[in-house]
A and B are shown apart, each in its own frame.
Chain A
Amino acid sequence: MLYPTAQAYSDIRFRQPATVFTIDPAAALIPQQVAVFPLASDQKLGEINGPVTIAAKWISTIQRRIEQSVPDVLVANLDDGGWLDSDIATYAISFFNATSDVLPISEPYLYTASNGDLVAEFAGRHGKLTNVIGKTAVNSFAIVDGQIVKTTLKFPLDNIEEARQELMQLTSQL
């Protein structure tokens, strides 16, 4: 019976590849677009842990209306009225993006309060939901059985889930 010897083992050699493959770095970095408000659809399926929020149909329309109501300070005549403070607009858009799926289905009617806060009114089956978005908070009001029900969410909305729960409770009563 033949057994391999140490000499035989030492004869085994790993060849070096004739050609060495290397990956060249890209000549220039491709600029990345920063998504300001990532959508649920931006997530990969494997990364989704729970139910996915589906934004309300009206979200893009409302976002456009809000954005177009912020004046270009160089061009706009601010005495006209009907303009929206840029901070309030930013807060309003982030609020609607975070909560549109728990707000009523119908498109809100937008206007400003006397001090420039944004008012968004939703019509529900049994009542109205009035959201007043200011620089520090969103106040949401509903009248249920003749009594006013109020929720205040302060900016920044740190606990989105809690905010959504509170709004959901309010909306479910309408």
Chain B
Amino acid sequence: MALWKPNAATVAGSEFIGRRLFERPGLKGAKDQKRPSKTFELYHFENSDREVSVDRLGQTSVDGKVKKTYLNARGHYAATLMHKREFHGWAVTQAKIVQSPPSSYPILPSPIAQVGVEPLTENSFHAHIEMPDRLSPYEMAVILKHMFEKNYRLEPCIPSGKTEGWLGRARRWLGI
């Protein structure tokens, strides 16, 4: 079965979107504190510009095939080259939770084209949440954190060693 091709014009409310989670060391002097269960942290939702990047994980649920054959490798690649931190997975929510009132933040498809020869720089499942001008990056991060924690779901990554077997690589090479 072919990989789901997301709509290039709109992100449907039924779609599942995920914000990538990268490891970050906790405070040195606070090793004795326990992280509250089913929570994310503010930096998971901080963005340097006014567009908060997300991955489109599936049409009506997290699509295992999209995750396994496409997005997982890209998460690990970003972790190694851009963030210099380990990739853990995604904070997941349904698009309509972000798009619906009272917040009503638009989610726009924004596929990323390949840079140079590295195929993992390309991401046709990329989208972004538009940050309104009235909000500061911290405010936006607090709001998104709240939304993603409301129906907490963490979609763990597949460890990098197991990301793609020869079959996956062959499929990617063949474009199927």
Q: Which residues of A contact B (CB under 8 A)?
A: 64-71, 80-84, 107, 109-114, 119, 121, 123, 128, 130, 132, 139, 141, 143, 145-148, 150
Contacts and interface: CB of A to CB of B under 8 A. Distances in A.
A151 to B, nearest CB: 12
Nearest to A117: B138
A66 B33 contact: no
Contacts, number: 80
15 contacts: A64-B29, A69-B30, A80-B25, A82-B25, A83-B28, A107-B33, A109-B33, A109-B36, A111-B26, A111-B27, A113-B43, A119-B42, A132-B138, A141-B139, A141-B142
B46 A114 contact: yes
Contacts of B142: 130, 141, 143, 148
B139 A148 contact: yes
A114 B103 CA distance: 24
A61 to B, nearest CB: 8
Contacts of A112: 27, 43
Given A67-B29, A150-B139, 9 more contacts: A69-B27, A80-B25, A81-B25, A109-B39, A111-B43, A113-B42, A121-B42, A143-B146, A148-B135
Contacts of A111: 24, 26-27, 30, 41-43
At the interface, is chain B mostly helix, strand, loop or mixed? loop
Interface string B93-104: 000000000110
Given A109-B33, A119-B42, A130-B42, A139 B138 contact: yes
Nearest to B30: A65
A92 to B, nearest CB: 11
Interface in B94-135: 102-103, 135
B5 interface: no
A114 B143 contact: no
B139 A69 contact: no
Nearest to A76: B28
A96 to B, nearest CB: 14
Contacts of A123: 36
A128 B25 contact: no
A148 B27 contact: no
B162 interface: no
A83 B131 CA distance: 29
